[in-house]
Amino acid sequence: MLLRKLRETGPDVIFLIVLVLALIWMGAFLHPHLPSELSFDVKPMPLFSLLLTVAGFSPVFSVIFTFLLVLLVSFLLVNFNTSVFFISERTYLPAFIYILLTGFFPQYQVLNPLLPAAVFLILAIRRVMDSYKIQGTAFPFFDAGMLISTGSLFYANLIWFGLLLLIGLAILRTGSIKEIIISVIGLATPIFIFSGFFYLAGKDMNSLLSAVTYNLFTKEIYYSIPTITLVALIMSGLIILIAVAHLLSVINSKKIKSRKTFILLFWTFFIAVSIEVLFKSVSAEIHYLTAIPVSYFLSHYFVFTKKKLLPEIMIAVLFVLVAVVQIVNLVK
């Protein structure tokens, strides 16, 4: 019943999604926290430091701003599918699923650098896909590089997603040296421009370098996953595996652009998981990025599976799991 409703595209579905988001974030609104409580203000990247100055002065305002960022990411998820149409159906499911998946970690419902980085990551992936079948040099790779690099000035580890540019070139293009150089220049441009302004403003360049080094390599995050969250992650992981298996079984029958889009999304997921495993500076906060491709994998399954009852049960289980996690976090 819930899934059938979510597969519709009327304004009532949008209202339902916003309502569910508000309910999931109810605990954050009732007990707002500052970013400092998760040490997000310790040697922040420069653009996130600026964001902290603007929005991080008040716990309530900080949560409201973060809530709006989640809404923006949800809108961009839907808009990306609408523009490329790789799921082959207009649907709001990616937004709803993203909201559910990010609700498994209520501790991170504070102003954090991942959400603005997520905005830039989605826009970058979209620009990479814009290069499909462009005649001549594909300058969208320059734009995508700039977007990823700008996002890394909020969240340093986003820079590793620059690998998506090379992967995109391999998937979508013939891999010309010129386009590789354009991609690298795109990645370097925002960092070069910001460093120039930083230097001209008389700021301490060592503090900038220290912040970058700290956020990429030195920072150590210890996150103890609550038992209820661990149970929810295991159950949702099984659901995701079913969705991925279904997608892999039909991916070769899809149109070329849709297939290449999903391949790029798989690489996005692999990069996110890899940096979480390889770098001690990355912890559970990365879920704001890993949830982006996973939202599309699940949406594809819910749209195209021929089974009737199982998808309804799966979406209901995800909803109940998030509700339980949020309630337990609220009452403890």
**Tens of pLDDT, residues 201-244:** 888 888 889 999 999 999 988 778 899 999 999 999 999 999 99
10 Å CB burial of residue 303 (0-12, 13-18, 19+) is middle
Tokens of 11: 């304004």
Say if residues 215 and 48 touch (Cβ distance below 8 Å).
Answer: no
**285-309: per-residue pLDDT in tens?**
999 999 999 999 999 999 999 888 9
Q: How many domains are there within the chain?
A: 1
Q: How far apart are CA 92 and CA 16, in angstroms?
A: 11
Average of per-residue pLDDT across 52-63? 90
Q: How far apart are CA 243 and CA 7, in angstroms?
A: 16
The whole-model pTM stands at 0.96
pLDDT at 227: 92
Q: How far apart are CA 293 and CA 57, in angstroms?
A: 32
Q: How confident is the model at residue 11 (pLDDT cuts 50, 70, 90)?
A: very high
DSSP-assigned letters across all residues of 207-250: HHHHHHHIIIII--------HHHHHHHHHHHHHHHHHHHHHHHH
pLDDT at 229: 94
pLDDT at 56: 79
pLDDT at 166: 95
Residue 205 belongs to domain spanning: 2-331
Q: Among 5-14, 215-224, 246-255, 323-332, which is the least confidently predicted range? A: 215-224
pLDDT at 308: 84
10 Å CB burial of residue 307 (0-12, 13-18, 19+) is exposed
Cβ-Cβ contacts under 8 Å for 321 (sequence gap 6 or more)? 104, 231, 232, 235, 236
Q: How far apart are CA 247 and CA 236, in angstroms?
A: 17
Residue 175 has pLDDT above 90, yes or no: no
Q: What is the DSSP letter of 7?
A: T
**142-161: per-residue pLDDT in tens?**
999 999 999 999 999 999 99
Of 304, 326, 302, the residue nearest 314 (C-alpha): 302
Q: How confident is the model at residue 133 (pLDDT cuts 50, 70, 90)?
A: confident
